[in-house]
Structure 1
Amino acid sequence: MTSGLVPNFPFCSSSEVRSLSNYTFKNHPRLRLTNPSSLQLHPYRVSPQAKATSAAMEVSEEIATTSDSSPPIKLLFVEMGVGYDQHGQDITAAAMRACRDAISSNSIPAFRRGNIPGVTSDQMKLQIKLGVPNSLQQSLDIERVKSVFPYGKIVKFEVVDGGLICSSGVLVEEMGDKNDDCYIVNAAVYVGY
């Protein structure tokens, strides 16, 4: 069925590949290798698409960590979260929940314990990027959103088109609903020094 199969294991030696092939191909009912000694090792190859993706990632990391109006940060973590306001149609509440979601399941003791040589907790820098539906961006209270962060200096706060407005499926007047809209905000929190 697969007699012409020549696997490519770029990080294995010849003996490791033969050992692997003898076990894998003899013991697996669907895989057969008629001549394990014909296994060839190929040098590690990177496709043009992978090279382009890697270059784009380097550029986007540079953009994410620097801006014209704020000093560059040495990026350590990127925390991501999502926040919802299902009743009441308050985009700021959704944004605050997104930021809390981003930071709530992480602990960064390195700043407090001095694990980064020459860096103290006073030097922690944050860059906040929120995806908010365009039609709601003007009603976002940025100062309330910033209050979510217990420490760290916010050096950049960016609001971009994103998030979502969808139906919650029900209008509950007792909870302050004006309609059945649910607001969703996405948050990316860049942590560094």
Structure 2
Amino acid sequence: MSSKISRAVVRTPRGWEKVLAVQFGFGVDMHGQDPTRAAIKAVEDAIGKTSLPAVLEFVPGGFEGVKIKAKIAVPNPKGVNVDEVMKTIPYGKIDKPKIVHGGMRWHSGIIIPELGDPPPEKKIDADTSDDEDAPITSNDESFAAVAAKDWWESHRGLIGDDIKAIEGSSEDPARMAEGDINLSWNEVLAVQFGFGVDMHGQDSTKAAVIAVEDALERTSLPAVLEFVPGGFEGVKFKAKIAVPYPQKGVDLVVVRSVFPYGKIEAPKIVRGGLRWHSGIIIPELGDPPPGKEIGAETSDDEDAPVTCNDESFAAVAAVRVGY
């Protein structure tokens, strides 16, 4: 039985009368390394997750009276076309979105020029995605973005093309394992992205677990029984997880317990994801009690310690599946 919530405290940003909703969204540009495209997908994902029927009843002016403020974390903030992102928001008064460094970058495992990747002949083999600030030097890099919005957020589109039917694609699973010291890889069957939020409690482990579960649940892999020696027990997993405050710690034992089968490498934890405010402190759900609250909004500094009791942590996970 759930406990009763009796100690909740609303936090309203300066210049705002009420906050109806805070929504998180997630978007990936799987091919092309386009931070604007990833950011737009993240904002659309956030918009489409929530309906706000209360707008017509409580907001003066209805939808046109709504205020919308967005914070978007991407691997390459300087490359985001803010004007294009703002076009995604369908109504209301829109503050200029705040673009910060975060999200995550990893490898799709396949270069597809028709979908935006640089041609294979220009490929540079160095795997720089472990350094989130390094320039792009691999043609198969994917950009994942996270968006958080006061008031509202859409759906994420997925590419369902048959990759084998696209001319010019170049698969290189051996390079995907470059730098691995725990497991050797023969083939990469899938690269999956996932997204998770700890809305209350500022728990990096909880956000990471939800992100990994989200990644694993997005894809079914019937090819495992046909192509992987040993079936499901022969599958290998490698995960990279971006969290906004890795200094606070992620329990890798707990994260690894999420994987249902196979051989699992130690997950790699990097700085990224996104941190923002839920707008309400709920101690029963994990937030520190209001009496200890510090008013400074430090979440604009992704490296700053947590000093607001209503902060939310969003994590991004990329999971490589192969054998």
TM-score, normalised to structure 2, is 0.40
Deviation at 1:94, TM superposition (A): 0.5
Q: Would you say 1:181 and 2:311 are equivalent positions?
A: yes
Q: Which moved more, 1:182-191 or 1:121-130?
A: 121-130
Structure 1 unaligned spans of 5+ = 1-45
Q: Would you say 1:167 and 2:280 are equivalent positions?
A: no
Give the 3-state SS of the residue equivalent to 2:190 in structure 1: strand
Aligned with residue 119 of structure 2, among 51, 54, 65:
51
Give the 3-state SS of the residue equivalent to 1:122 in structure 2: helix
Give the 3-state SS of the residue equivalent to 1:94 in structure 2: helix
Counterparts of 1:114-129 in structure 2, within 5 Å, are 115-116=226-227, 118-129=229-240
Call closer, same or farther: CA 1:102–1:93 in 2, change over 3 Å. Answer: same
CA contact (8 A) 2:196 2:316 kept: yes
Task: Show CA shifts across 1:77-125 (max 9, x none).
Answer: 00110000001221111000000100113222222x3x11745222100
Call closer, same or farther: CA 1:63–1:101 in 2, change over 3 Å. Answer: same
Task: Show CA shifts across 1:45-90 (max 9, x none).
Answer: x9xx933796122699655423242233221100110000001221
Q: Separation in 2 of the partners of 1:72 and 1:107? A: 23
Identical pairs, percent: 36
Q: Separation in 2 of the partners of 1:169 and 1:155? A: 37
Task: Show CA shifts across 1:135-163 (max 9, x none).
Answer: 33442111001111101111342111111
Structure 2 unaligned spans of 5+ = 1-113, 124-137, 143-172, 289-308
Aligned alpha-carbon RMSD (Å): 2.7
Call closer, same or farther: CA 1:68–1:176 in 2, change over 3 Å. Answer: closer
Q: Separation in 1 of the partners of 2:247 and 2:121? A: 31
Counterparts of 1:41-120 in structure 2, within 5 Å, are 50-51=118-119, 55=123, 56-57=138-139, 64-73=176-185, 74-111=187-224, 113=225, 115-116=226-227, 118-120=229-231
Give the 3-state SS of the residue equivalent to 1:99 in structure 2: helix
CA contact (8 A) 1:126 1:156 kept: no
Aligned with residue 151 of structure 1, among 261, 274, 289:
261
Aligned length: 143
Q: Separation in 2 of the partners of 1:157 and 1:63? A: 18
Which one-letter code corresponds to 2:179 in the other structure?
S
Q: Which moved more, 1:79-88 or 1:156-165?
A: 156-165
Call closer, same or farther: CA 1:156–1:142 in 2, change over 3 Å. Answer: closer
Larger radius of gyration: 1
Call closer, same or farther: CA 1:172–1:77 in 2, change over 3 Å. Answer: same
Q: Separation in 1 of the partners of 2:228 and 2:284? A: 53
Aligned with residue 241 of structure 2, among 121, 124, 130:
130
Give the 3-state SS of the residue equivalent to 1:100 in structure 2: helix
